[in-house]
Chains A and B, each alone.
Chain A
Amino acid sequence: MRARLRVVGAILREAAASAWAQPVASLVSVVIVAAMCASVLLTTGRTVGAEDAVLSTIDSTGTRSIVVRAEAASGLDSTVLDRLANVDGIEAALAFGPAIDTRATAFAGGAPVPVRTLWGGGLVDARGAPAIISPAWASPVAIDGLGLLDGTGGVASDDGRDYSIVGELAVPDYLAFLEPLVIAPQPDDSVGAVSVLVVIADTPDLVGAVAAATGSLLAVDDPTTVTLTTSEGIAQLRAIIEGQLGTFGRELVLVIFGISALLVAAILYGFTLLRRKDYGRRRALGASRSLIVTLVLLQMTMVAIVGAAFGTGAALTTLAATGDPLPGADFAGAVAVLAVVVAVIAALLPATVAARREPIRELRVP
Chain B
Amino acid sequence: MSEVGTLPRPARHGALLAADDVTFGYDRAAPLLDGWSQRFDAGEVVAITGPSGRGKSTLLYLLGLMLKPSAGHILVDGVPAQALPDRERARLRAGRFGFVFQDAALDATRTVLDNVCETALYRGDDPREARMRASALMERFGVQLRAAAKPGQVSGGQAQRIALCRALLHAPRILLADEPTGNLDPDSSRVVMGAFREHAASGAAVVVVTHDPSIVAQCDRTVEL
Contact = CB atoms under 8 A, between A and B. Distances in A.
10 contacts: A6-B124, A17-B114, A278-B107, A281-B101, A282-B122, A285-B93, A285-B166, A286-B92, A291-B90, A360-B58
Contact of B61 (A7, A10, A286, A359): A359
Of residues B64, B109, B123, which shows the largest number of chain A Cβ atoms within 10 Å of its Cβ? B109
B158 to A, nearest CB: 18
Contacts of B49: none
* Interface of A: prevailing SS: helix
A291 B124 contact: no
Interface in B10-62: 57-58, 61
A285 B99 contact: yes
A358 B91 CA distance: 16
Interface string B152-184: 000000000000001000000000000000000
B97 A17 contact: no
Interface of A: 3, 6-7, 9-11, 13-14, 17-18, 21-22, 277-278, 281-291, 358-360, 363-364
B189 to A, nearest CB: 21
Given A283-B90, A284-B93, A360-B61, A14 B66 contact: no
Nearest to B102: A363
Contacts, number: 81
Nearest first, the 5 closest Cβ-Cβ pairs linking A and B are A286-B94, A21-B109, A288-B90, A286-B122, A286-B93
B54 to A, nearest CB: 15
B66 A3 contact: no
A288 B97 contact: no
Interface in B87-107: 87, 90-95, 97, 99, 101, 105, 107
B136 interface: no
Chain B interface size range: 20 to 34
B90 A286 contact: yes
B132 interface: no
B138 to A, nearest CB: 17
A364 B61 CA distance: 12
* Interface of B: prevailing SS: helix
Of residues B121, B124, B127, which shows the largest number of chain A Cβ atoms within 10 Å of its Cβ? B121
B66 A285 contact: no
Contacts of B107: 21, 278, 281
A60 to B, nearest CB: 58
A287 B90 contact: yes
B126 interface: yes
Contact of B86 (A7, A17, A285, A288): A288
A15 to B, nearest CB: 10
A284 B110 contact: no
A277 B109 CA distance: 12
B124 A3 contact: yes
Contacts of A22: 109
Of residues A3, A18, A284, A290, which shows the largest number of chain B Cβ atoms within 10 Å of its Cβ? A284
Given A283-B90, A288-B86, A363-B105, 19 more contacts: A6-B124, A6-B126, A17-B110, A281-B101, A281-B105, A284-B64, A284-B105, A285-B94, A285-B118, A285-B166, A286-B95, A286-B123, A287-B90, A288-B91, A288-B122, A291-B122, A360-B57, A360-B58, A364-B57
A314 B118 CA distance: 38
